[in-house]
Amino acid sequence: MMTFWQSVFFWLLSLNALWGQIQANQKLRISLMGTPIEDQMRLNGDYQVDPQGHLHFAEVGHITAAGRRQLQLAHLIEERLKEQDVFAEPVVLFKDNSDSGEYRYLVQVTGHVANPGMVACGKGFRLAEILAAAELKVENWGPLEVRVTRDRVVHSLVLVTGTKFGLERIYPGDDLAVICQSPWQWFRPQPVRCVSEKLLFLWPE
């Protein structure tokens, strides 16, 4: 016969398994990057998981969302879009609209973005998600260069629209200078600084 503490132990295990999983009737905000801006305007927005746990996303159809983690569902949608030759290298980003307290860390974003300032985020976020939250200005820009200064060493990342980008790890204390290389105008690099004391970005497993 199972003891009280054994019951508590298995109950905690079940809670841990459910933590972070998408639920039926949950509302999610989807942002699509690495695609033409007209497709982003058409597809980006709020999506409701139905009572059966399915999510309907244009170009893909119905996908089982309940029981998956957001990164898992994002990768699944990306693969479906590529398999159907809709987009070559799409990046799907999710934000939970419920007040779950998941976004406990802040990143300061300035530069070539529509909404500069503090961006709330949580563990597992990618560089692309921060750029999407700050509404990166994508009109009339060529390659986007992000210079990451870490331990006094500068690393340059060239991000090109239509390619898989924004999956890099970012750590507290990193300085990111965002440069928009436009054939019409040049933008001076602006700092993007992590202000959390903990690891903000983790490479998706």
Domain range summary for the chain, segments of one domain joined by +? 4-96, 105-194
In DSSP terms, 145 is beta-bridged to: 158, 179
What CATH number is given for 4-96 in this structure?
3.30.1950.10
pLDDT winner (highest mean) among 54-58, 70-74, 120-124: 54-58
| Tokens linked to 23 | 């639920």
CA–CA gap between residue 115 and residue 77 (Å, rounded): 27
Residue 118 clears pLDDT 70, i.e. is over it: no
> Phi, psi (5° rounding) for residue 11?
-65, -40
Instruction: State the average pLDDT for the chain.
Output: 66
0.85 exceeded by pTM:
no
Residue 185 clears pLDDT 70, i.e. is over it: no
Nearest one of 81, 147, 162 to 111, comparing CA atoms: 147
% of the chain at pLDDT higher than 90: 5
Taking residues 95-120, what's their average pLDDT? 59
pLDDT one-digit tens code per residue, 18-48: 446 888 888 888 877 767 777 878 888 889 9
